[in-house]
């Protein structure tokens, strides 16, 4: 089942980043890269996993 993350809805940033992926580990990696590059912030893997939804 696909997992998704929406930067605005799930993390509260004014941001259009939205990702859907079948591989949750890969999705977490992409969200961490996005956080660093777009928002200059580091987010722990466990915090990202708490924000994910299907």
Q: Total structural domains in the chain?
A: 1
pLDDT for position 24: 98
* pLDDT value of residue 22: 98
Residue 19, judged by CB atoms within 10 A of its CB (0-12, 13-18, 19+), counts as middle
pTM: 0.92
Are 11 and 51 contacting, i.e. CB atoms less than 8 angstroms apart? Answer: yes
pLDDT of residue 13: 96
Domain span including residue 22:
3-51
pLDDT of the chain along its 54 residues, tens only? 899 999 999 999 999 999 999 999 999 999 999 999 999 999 999 999 999 999
* Helical segments of 5-44, H only: 7-11, 24-39
Angle (CA) 29 32 37, round 5°: 125
pLDDT of residue 28: 98
State residue 48's pLDDT score: 97
């Amino acid at each position: 089942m696909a997992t998704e993350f929406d930067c605005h809805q799930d993390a509260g940033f004014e941001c259009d980043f939205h990702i859907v992926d079948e591989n949750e580990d890969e999705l977490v990696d992409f969200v961490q890269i996005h956080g660093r590059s777009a928002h200059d912030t580091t987010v722990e893997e466990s915090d990202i996993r708490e924000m994910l939804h299907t």
